[in-house]
Amino acid sequence: MKLGDFEALTFDCYGTLIDWETGILANLAPLVGKAGGGRSNDAILETFARHEAAQEAETPDMIYARLLAMVHGRIAEEWGVAASPEDDARFGASVPDWPAFPDTADALRYLKQHFRLGILSNVDRTSFAGSNRRLGVEFDWIMTAEDIGSYKPAPRNFAYMIETLGRDGVDRAGILHTAESLFHDHVPANGFGLASCWIFRRHDKDGFGATSKPAKMPRIDFRFTSLGEMAAAHRREMAGGG
């Protein structure tokens, strides 16, 4: 199997293209300060992951900006600190401020020359529009939780993606789903028989960061530590270097 065997790359955005852990930590810093500090970044991210996954399961049709505000309130309650509705809303609206990984835009511009590109993301359209300005390409498909009415890892999101691309002539075998999160993306992609590429951004860190631990290790067809590394591998393929 080669990267060039595929017609379309579908991407998770946050954690894969956008450095959401940096964004989350920066925007939780005021709450961490109120709680008195003393928590490691990994502990903060693990708390976020737990509450985000629970809120997504409880309110699958809630707009992500509102959902993030709810998560902020839940974290504040767990830590025993006060957070105003304005504080919660500010965190919920922070997604467009989260930075892209340094390699993302250049790698996407390269990959766009060779593949059709899609986004399958657990956010709302407005939040993604802010992030999209950092990504530097026009995607062929943008599929958000707002469009679908549920959050990954729900099977409904992947069925929606397969149906959407199928209407544009791309069958399941022509899709390579590309993501960092094993929990949100690779496990459900396996369930639909999709090929998958793991952009293992956390290769030099312990734990699962801002995502939940998967119940099992999924099958991975390709693994790279950055999107830039994936683009470089495709260049080698094109040059005949395997």
Name the residues annotated as catalytic: 12
Answer yes or no: are the C-beta atoms of 16 and 201 closer than 8 Å: yes
CA distance 123 to 134: 16
CA distance 136 to 141: 15
Tokens matching residue 30: 């005021």
Tokens matching residue 189: 């992609």
Tokens matching residue 59: 């309110």
For the chain, how many helices (H) and strands (E)?
Answer: 10, 6
Work out whether the CA dihedral 222, 227, 232, 238 comes out positive or negative. Answer: positive
SS3 70: helix
Tokens matching residue 82: 């006060």
Answer yes or no: are the C-beta atoms of 210 and 47 closer than 8 Å: no
